[in-house]
Amino acid sequence: MKKIIYLICFAGITMQACNDKPAADNPLLAEFDTPFQVPPFDKIHDAHYLPAFREGMKQQREEIDAITSNPEAPTFANTIEALEKSGQLLDRVRYIFINLQEANTTDSLKAIAEEIMPELTAHDDGIYLNEKLFRRVKAVHDAQGAANLTTEQQRVLKHYYDSFIRGGANLAPDAKKRLTEINSRLALLSLQFGTNQLKETNAYQLVIDREEDLSGLPEGVIAAAADAANERGMQDKWVFTLHNPSIMPFLQYADNRALREEIYKAYINRGSHDNANNNWVIISEMVSLRAEKAALLGYKDYASYVIDANMAKTPENVYALCNQIWDAALPNAKREAAELQKLIDRTGGNFKLAPWDWRYYSEKLKKEKYGLDETEISQYFPLEQVREGAFHVANKLYGITFEQRNDLPLPHPEALAFEVKDADGSHIGILYADYFPRASKSSGAWMEAFRPQSALLGNTPVVVNVCNFTKPTGDTPSLLTFDEACTLFHEFGHALHGLLSRCTYPSVSGTSVANDFVELPSQIMENWAAAPEVLQTYARHWKTGEPMPQELIDKIQASRLFNQGFTVVEFMSAALLDMAYHSVQDTARIDAEAFEKATLDRIGLIPEITVRYRSPYFSHIFNGGYAAGYYVYTWAEVLDADAFAAFKETGDIFNPEKARAFREYILSRGGSDDPMKLYQAFRGKEPSIDPLLRRKGLLHD
């Protein structure tokens, strides 16, 4: 996913010592003397952040004061463009800090966040509740018809005007005060939620000391568990954790059903225990505060507030899409459950299918039906080759190249750096890649920017892909599952969106687009990852170098609809749960745990499937930018399936004309025009849902 991160915190420890660092020694306050002016990660220390944040806020306040005190009549140049240029130091510090806090947090970074985030929240509110500034923005907005603005400038102006309105600029003084209180409290709760989730994920480990309990597990999985045990000082033992590269293979292959149940329940009960990391109370308060915020701003609920700024426009449109897919997928999931139960019965299992059985028996059924073994498939997906496969696709489509650089400071010792060049050899930007899990890294996969592209500011993009793939063990490289290979392509698609941006203004460049449009560039890349002609180029056996046999590729293609009922229902139940939370209009505190159960019961989620994210670890919506927005992946799936169909219709999935159009209208334009207009400019028509329904086996010709 494109991880939309907000600066958030909770009240706590102070870091007064950080204020004592002399400004002259602070690399964050100086121009970066590095190749391509990438962040000097090797010179930045924790003590540098607080003074840099505070200096950045001070400078932006002065820049805002200069705008509001300008005696000249408000114009796009002296108001909107001036706003775009303001806060450059603060933005620089924010991007670096947020990215490192998510990917390599420490107690020190957490403490800094706890101290600075309330100040940053108040600072941002101070801009959007500044009456003098809003009057100038409104004056430019109201007179834009006579200003001869470009399309991009019109979008930038709309961005600011809407941001002020949505930020409370039209509210009465008492309502403004309450809004700032809500924003500050939500920031506190959100950071606490994420902290609790990380602690819960790291707190559990399944220690195995009997070799027979490893039955069914592939050699690579066993080796990784042995390495995890050795890292913890446990000899002749094996450790499995709640990080996806550890737990998911265990659930897929481990013969010991009791251990599968144990680790599965530990996974789904994160944040639900009666301890300091319990997230249910936090959820209840966040839902209440979001409902109150929406009401203050004139919306019936928080979902209406969020979706109003997206392509979908209304919750009703979101529900129409989600319910259409849910109603078609749920019967498929029930048929799949019945089929797995039959497999259990005929192989001597005297029990009813449970959630911790699904992955185990679906793996057996897939092997039985299609002759597919995920362990065999992963031998053809060493991480480096998958990455090179993604680079190859980008080169064939857009002519760009990727050169590894060993002279750039890295955000983490395990990260890699690549210079990205256009077909003519000119510099485009820098891509960092950070692929392996660690206790200090949030779970999941994402793309973010250390520096977004902007012609106005003279910025070339510096972006990062962060993932959590299995580490190499011994002589064995990191071997990805097919799903993980698609994840790498997905996040790389987000990176291309940031790298190939050609916008003037930073507020609309790169991935600064509507949430339900931002997943199009990422999800369309998954189509190339799975295309047979692309698999032949990068799926090679890590030992022999032999390409994946056509027979195996055919099996993968034949099995593409296998388990789709489970996949869609697991995801869509989370999307509908998200919408339910943010359709609450009453500001009274809900019993979040009871609310979750009632919602999932109401939509008919079957007991054999657990919602993809239970609420206490649903970080997308309670510790990120996807509140009332988890649906966006499905909305963008409609776009990506239809967009890839445009390539396939030409008979060439690398069709140069379509590639040029996709780069010109989707990847390079950011949010500089209405997303549907950009899509229609690429496609020549509005998107159809039919290609998506066919892909999921929900529509047949």
Q: Pairing state of beta strands 462-466 and 238-240?
A: unpaired
Catalytic position from the list 152, 419, 491, 637: 491
DSSP of 640-678: HHHHHHHHHTTT-TT-HHHHHHHIIIIITTTTSS-HHHH
- How many Å from the N-terminal Cα to the C-terminal Cα in the chain? 31
Nearest to 187 by CA among 444, 447, 12, 3: 12
Nearest to 35 by CA among 356, 409, 299: 409
Q: CA 501 to CA 627: how far, in whole Å?
A: 26
Beta carbons within 10 angstroms of residue 148's beta carbon: 8
Beta carbons within 10 angstroms of residue 651's beta carbon: 7
Q: Cα-flanking dihedrals φ and ψ of residue 626, to 5°?
A: -115, 20
The token pair at 384 is 């480096």
The token pair at 147 is 């200003």
Q: CA 432 to CA 445: how far, in whole Å?
A: 14
**Which residues does 130 contact at the CB level (< 8 Å), separation at least 6?**
64, 68
Q: Cα-flanking dihedrals φ and ψ of residue 115, to 5°?
A: -85, -40
Q: At what angle do helices 173-203 and 107-128 cross, to 10 degrees?
A: 160
Q: CA 63 to CA 492: how far, in whole Å?
A: 36
**Which residues does 502 contact at the CB level (< 8 Å), separation at least 6?**
453, 455, 668, 669
H-helix or E-strand containing 12? none
Q: CA 359 to CA 609: how far, in whole Å?
A: 10
Burial class (CB in 10 A: 0-12, 13-18, 19+), 546: exposed
**Secondary structure letter of residue 477 according to DSSP:** -
51 touches 97 (CB < 8 A) = no
Q: CA 693 to CA 683: how far, in whole Å?
A: 19
Residue 420 bridge partners (DSSP): 402, 429
Q: Is 115 a catalytic residue?
A: no
**Secondary structure letter of residue 546 according to DSSP:** P
Q: CA 61 to CA 65: how far, in whole Å?
A: 6
| Residue at token pair 């390409």 | 547
Residues involved in catalysis: 491
